[in-house]
Amino acid sequence: MGKYTRLGDFLRTQRSKEVPMTFAEIERVIGGKLPPNSPQYPAWWSNNASNNVMTKVWLSAGFRTAQVDVKSRKVVFRRVEEKPAETPSPPPARKGERHPLFGALKGLVRITPGVDPSGSRRIIRSHRRRLKPSTPRIGQVAPSLSPRSPHGRSAYSFPATA
């Protein structure tokens, strides 16, 4: 539990839209002192979530600082009105029409020549040598009775991996 968690809990229990507090009241709620420079600088009380930890606490509780008076050491937290998220609906797909992202990754994936994309067997590439009638042509799967490798597998055909 962080130092400022109690402030978030306190703000969540409030029913009114505005919660005016003095810096001393905030210190009583959090059970400790505010940082030494916080009363001096209005920017410390801004609603920028990357500003400080306490800002994240009141923002996550659904509040924003509306009025900050550093001279009189007061602040007013105002409840943020929740608006329903507006998500634009995608245009209806027309029959036979492809999605706009179709082909967006074209050219980013390369399949090594001679490899079956399904991963089940290696394909013999023989475009530079003279083909014999018994030799499989480009794109044909090698027969299972191929020359054997030292590991007992076919030199041209490999089982699919799971």
Write down the pLDDT at residue 20. 94
Write down the pLDDT at residue 75. 92
Q: Which of 152, 151, 153, 150 is nearest to 142 (CA)?
A: 153
pTM of the model: 0.50
Along the 162 residues of the chain, how does pLDDT read in single tens digits? 688 899 999 999 999 999 999 999 999 999 988 888 777 778 888 888 887 888 899 999 999 998 888 888 999 999 987 665 666 666 666 777 777 777 787 877 777 777 666 655 555 554 455 555 555 556 555 554 445 445 554 444 445 555
Write down the pLDDT at residue 104. 80
Q: How many CB atoms lie within 10 A of CB 7?
A: 22
Write down the pLDDT at residue 51. 79
Which DSSP symbol is given to 127?
A: S
Q: Which of 4, 11, 65 is nearest to 33 (CA)?
A: 4
